[in-house]
Chain A
Amino acid sequence: NAGVTQTPKFRVLKTGQSMTLLCAQDMNHEYMYWYRQDPGMGLRLIHYSVGEGTTAKGEVPDGYNVSRLKKQNFLLGLESAAPSQTSVYFCASSYSQLAGGHPNEQFFGPGTRLTVL
């Protein structure tokens, strides 16, 4: 199993450009999450999904959109990148031991380092 993979690993954008980050998991997990990691601020939740076709806002959703058309994929989009979105982006997936239960431990991808000039 590959676990959680993220594409791309690195990206440099100019202000105003758009891009999509792809997260894929092969563990059949229901829950998927997008976080950004910035120095001194830990991981902040951007958006998350509790199942195929569903998404919800996290702590810092502004400037980002997400889609979960397939259970194994969770896409994070930046429509018009800004320098404040320079960060390392982590995707995570999780499962519930009970149907409809709360998420268990998260499995993280290797991250995408994004620089917006």
Chain B
Amino acid sequence: AQSVSQHNHHVILSEAASLELGCNYSYGGTVNLFWYVQYPGQHLQLLLKYFSGDPLVKGIKGFEAEFIKSKFSFNLRKPSVQWSDTAEYFCAVNAYSSASKIIFGSGTRLSIRP
């Protein structure tokens, strides 16, 4: 079945550590890719998105993600995390073969130790 996988369920880091969260999808063909963040008690908001062009995309708050088509991956990175990055992070995919469906991964909870 087509799916979006986030294998890291809970990541714990210290402040200033580097972050990489994995996202893999199983859809073939053209895809639009998104990363969303949900801070405690808040609703989801967009971090960044990839539609086409440069596979390295930059988003808000110093986050970036790299689309590697051959690996069906769209990993999220940040060189130095802050305590305020504590949140849940979701990868989402719109596969052109699935019309207007946007499917989310199971999420990764990020905890930052001050």
Residue of B with least CB distance to A43: B104
CB interface residues, B 30-74, toward A, < 8 Å: 32, 34, 36, 43-46, 49
The answer to whether B104 touches A103 (Cβ under 8 A) is: no
In chain A between 94 and 117, which residues have their CB closer than 8 angstroms to a CB of chain B? Answer: 94, 102-106, 108-111
* Cα–Cα, bound, A59→B2 (Å): 10
- Say if the beta carbon of A50 comes within 8 Å of chain B: yes
Give the residue of A56, A105, A110 whose beta carbon is less than 8 angstroms from that of B49: A105
> Any chain A CB within 8 A of the CB of B19?
no
B91 to A, closest residue via Cβ: A42
CB of B6 within 8 A of CB of A42, answer: yes
The 8 Å CB contact of B102, one of A41, A45, A109, is A45
Q: Which residues of B contact A45 (CB under 8 A)?
A: 101-104
The yes or no answer to A33 lying at the interface (CB within 8 A) is yes
Judged by a CB distance under 8 angstroms, whether B9 is at the interface is yes
B96 close to chain A: CB less than 8 A: yes
What residues on B are CB-neighbors of A74 within 8 Å?
none
| A43–B96 CA distance with the chains assembled, in angstroms | 20
Query: Which of A41, A94, A103, A108 is in CB contact (< 8 Å) with B106?
Result: A41
Contacts of B94 in A (CB 8 A): 102-103
Q: Which residues of B contact A (CB under 8 A)?
A: 6, 9, 32, 34, 36, 43-46, 49, 90, 92, 94, 96, 99-107
A-B contact pairs, 10 of them (CB 8 A): A33-B102, A42-B90, A42-B106, A43-B90, A45-B103, A45-B104, A102-B94, A103-B32, A104-B49, A106-B34
